[in-house]
Structure 1
Amino acid sequence: MRADAQRNAARLRAAAADLFQERGLQVSLKEIARHAGVSHGTLYNLFGSREALIDEVIADLAATRLGDAARAALACPDPWQGFAGYVTEVCELQATDPALGDVLTRRFPDASRLMAVCDNSFAAAESIIDRARRDGSLRPDFTASDLLFFLASHAPLARAAAAAGSDAWRRAVGFMLDGLRAPAGTPLPAEPMTPQQINHLLVEGAAAVSA
């Protein structure tokens, strides 16, 4: 890559990182190009697509932050506290970091590196949940798919509340966690969604939002 192309690529990565974390992964590519001081065509010539730019800029950051949250949960001596801390940490990321909020809802399935991060995060959530279920502190019918469903529903409202200067999203998380303690469990009227159904739901939901 020529020196001028390397400089432009670096500007685009920096601009994308700023705007993705400020507004989410759906921010206009034209705006990213303007922020970087290059043409829209230069962005496409260097990265080819939004998904390629997301993979370049966000995948490693998401892997680090979500991985840190999962490792802290699994290292916690109390499985319930580890689970509750993980859910709260991830919900806080949704409220305060629009890019990571979009990561968790799998809105960009063609960003292959990012989807690998999502898959790893789902597997970690399964381990965190299983640990708390085996401990007897988490109701036995709660699954990682249930958590992903909650997170997908929570993301836009958490972001809106934070933007309005409110921590009300913490109340929703608190109510949800109280309802997940094993003593509070009552039979549920439906089975949890499968990972495939959840993925379909998130992809279709993202398409509907974008339409």
Structure 2
Amino acid sequence: MRSHERLIEAAQLEFAVRGADASLEKIARGAGVSIGTLYRHFPSRLDLLVAAFEPRLQEFLDGAGEALAVDDPWEGFVSYLENLFRVQAGDRGFNDFLSRRFPGNAETERIHDLLCRQIDQVLARAQRAGRVRDDIALADIVNLIWSNGRMIDATRATAPGAWRRYLHLMLDAYRAEAAHALPEPPMSQEQLYRAMVQLNEGD
């Protein structure tokens, strides 16, 4: 196996367990190469992240396409989020990637913009059908991703399927028939973007 492939394989294993901030030195050792070789193949951590997460991303996009094709808008919305959180639960690094923004990197921005468009699409379809309350916004779904990520970390070793229970509890609160006035508006797109950048910066 070539160095490039060994690095991707080692990165997938390490990111899945340690998250997106996993040690690059440890990844290089796991691939049997020097840190200099790692940087020759992947000049930045983000380059390695994108390469390592490509299979997870494709797994997610395949499931997302199936969810977007579901005839019933509510079932499509539920299916989309279940697919999203299932992939999130299976890989700590991908969880980090979903939760953050990496400004200045065109590829990660493209991927996140695609995810946001998909969420907007599946959410708007369920809202037009009167199944999801009208005041739910993209930022509410991203906040759910953040919350689910912490819960996944807490239960990974003891109850790895617990995320499904709490997702469906939250989905009941999203139903139009459960709507009541909320004391705070959703985060604006700018606020959401800044929050995702700050998560990446460790603020």
Give the drift of 1:50. 0.5
Cα distance in 1 for residues equivalent to 2:188 and 2:62: 26
Q: How does 1:116-131 map to 2 (within 5 A)?
A: 116-131=110-125
Residue in structure 2 matched with residue 65 of structure 1 by the alignment: 59
How many Å separate the matches in 1 of 2:137 and 2:48?
32
Equivalent residues of 1:75, 1:82 under 8 A apart = yes
Corresponding residue of 2:45? 50
Separation in 1, partners of 2:117, 2:144? 16
- The SS at the match of 1:163 is coil
Kindly state the Cα deviation for residue 7 of structure 1 after the two structures are TM-superposed: 2.6
Match of 1:136 in 2: 130
Amino acid at match of 2:32: G
Deviation per residue, 1:97-127 (Å, 9 max, x gap): 2222122102544543233111101101100
Deviation at residue 146 of structure 1 after TM alignment:
1.1
Query: What is the CA deviation profile of residues 157-182 of structure 1, one whole-angstrom value per residue up to 9, with x for unaligned ones?
Result: 21331222342222211110001100
2:186 alignment partner, SS class: coil
**Displacement, 1:27?**
1.0
User: What residue is the counterpart of 1:154 in the other structure?
Assistant: 148
| Equivalent position SS for 1:38 | coil
* In 1, Cα distance between equivalents of 2:104 and 2:157: 29
Aligned-pair identity (%): 35
What corresponds to 1:3 in structure 2?
none
How does the TM-score come out when normalised to structure 1? 0.87
Describe the superposition over 1:113-165 as per-residue Cα deviations: whole angstroms up to 9, x where unpaired.
23311110110110000000000011111111210121122212213312223
Count of matched residue pairs: 203
1:79 has 2:73 as partner: yes
Alignment partner, residue 23 of structure 1: 18
Deviation at 1:88, TM superposition (A): 1.8
CA distance in 1, matches of 2:156, 2:134: 32
What SS does structure 1 have at the residue aligned with 2:164? helix
The residue identity in structure 2 corresponding to 1:100 is F
Give me the CA root mean square deviation.
1.9
User: What's the counterpart of residue 7 of structure 1?
Assistant: 2
Consecutive unaligned residues of structure 2, counting only runs of 5 or more, are none
Aligned position for 1:186: 180
2-structure distance, mates of 1:197, 1:66: 26
**What is the deviation of 1:28?**
0.5
Q: Distance in 2 between matches of 1:110 and 1:25?
A: 17
Change (3 A) 1:111 1:54: farther
Cα distance in 1 for residues equivalent to 2:160 and 2:33:
37
Deviation at 1:33, TM superposition (A): 0.4
2:75 and 2:46 map into 1 onto residues whose CA distance is: 35
Deviation, structure 1 residue 25: 1.8
- Distance in 2 (CA, whole Å) between partners of 1:101 and 1:88 is 14
